Homo-oligomer: A and B are copies of this chain.
Amino acid sequence: MSHNSFGHMFRFTTWGESHGPALGVVIDGCPPNLAISEEIIQRDLDRRRPGQSRYTTQRQEADRVAILSGTFEDERTGGLKTTGTPIALQIQNTDQRSKDYSDIRDKYRPGHADITYQQKYGIRDYRGGGRSSARETAARVAAGAVARLVIPCVKIRASLVQIGSKKIDRNNFDWDEVDNNPFFCADKNAAKNWAPYLDEIRKDGNSIGAIIEVVASCVPPGWGAPVYGKLSADLASAMMSINAVKGVEIGAGFEAAYLSGIENADQMRAGSDGPNRQSAPDFLSNHAGGILGGISNGDEIVVRFAVKPTSSILTQRQTVTTKNQDTDIITKGRHDPCVGIRAVPIGEAMMALVLADHFLRHRGQTGHDGTVG
């Protein structure tokens, strides 16, 4: 019942505060004999890393990952392989500015977890938000990179699809564009328009919300464990656990409320045998987002989540002191004008972590890989 762990068969536990010496993750239950390297993990971490554009926090962190356990030299290749024992990954914090924290020590930032950590524990590490800081997500992304190795056939991609009221045009959707702009946006035109919009918000000492879409392709049918371990329930929990997320939906999502049964239910035609052990039909639409009854149906898994605007802003807001007295606050420091941007690789990581866990659970219970065979 660990509060800071996620998953069951593929289970990870994160630790660390924003301004502590380091942060990390321990992955337990990883299958043995997977080729692994710090480089593979670093690649995913680098996408989440701050300070890469003017649209994210200017904190400079190398975010270099070190593998401390759970791997061993593959005598044949000279590379590393997983051994089935716990994989400990660690990242040093290097840019913890020694600065005056008295403002956030004595006042609660509106919209921030400062106050609730204090309410719950009666103590908090206020420096940079402590444990509630989005720096924790570096550990998830590192774990997610390992999760991808467990399900190599599955392709996981994500795109920012909305900033404020500005949505992408689905007609322009092109996965190949995602890494060509600072917004991880699959619509290059939208990305172009977002740049000046976000510049404006940043200059105003304000911030803005966003929506991210994560898609997993080539997921075999049969993953997911009804009724409380539904694939959809675990994805909802996974995405909602990301800092600042306030909503999660699968497939048609909230739009499904507007639809009739005739419109919503995805009709089927006989499918040719796919890459999976069971012939899956062709679905004529995907309002289900690839999940029926909490179990994958072989179609693309589609998840969207909404990220609220950064609460640490340069505009003066009403708040209270830790002594429960009225005051005002302006939050200085290095903050993302739109935390939704860096949430894109984080969403991919959480998708990978949920799917890797469910793959192992499915294989355990049924003896089937759900893969070629």
Contacts and interface: CB of A to CB of B under 8 A. Distances in A.
Interface in A342-372: 360-367, 369
Q: Which of A66, A288, A315 has the most CB of B within 10 A?
A: A288
A259 B165 CA distance: 8
Interface string A197-211: 000010000111111
Interface string A253-293: 11111111111111111110000001111001001110111
Given A4-B228, A246-B253, 17 more contacts: A3-B228, A9-B364, A15-B26, A72-B124, A83-B131, A116-B224, A119-B222, A119-B298, A120-B362, A165-B258, A209-B256, A209-B257, A211-B257, A256-B307, A262-B317, A270-B326, A364-B365
A227 B81 contact: no
In the complex this chain forms, how many copies of it are found?
Answer: 4
A86 to B, nearest CB: 4
Contacts of A81: 123
Contacts of A66: 21
A26 to B, nearest CB: 5
14 contacts: A2-B29, A33-B121, A72-B123, A84-B365, A85-B131, A110-B265, A115-B281, A116-B224, A236-B240, A256-B309, A262-B315, A268-B319, A270-B325, A281-B320
A132 to B, nearest CB: 4
Contacts of A263: 309
Given A117-B295, A294-B113, A319 B248 contact: no
A249 interface: yes
Interface residues of A, number: 159
A324 interface: yes
A364 B61 CA distance: 37
A246 B248 CA distance: 9
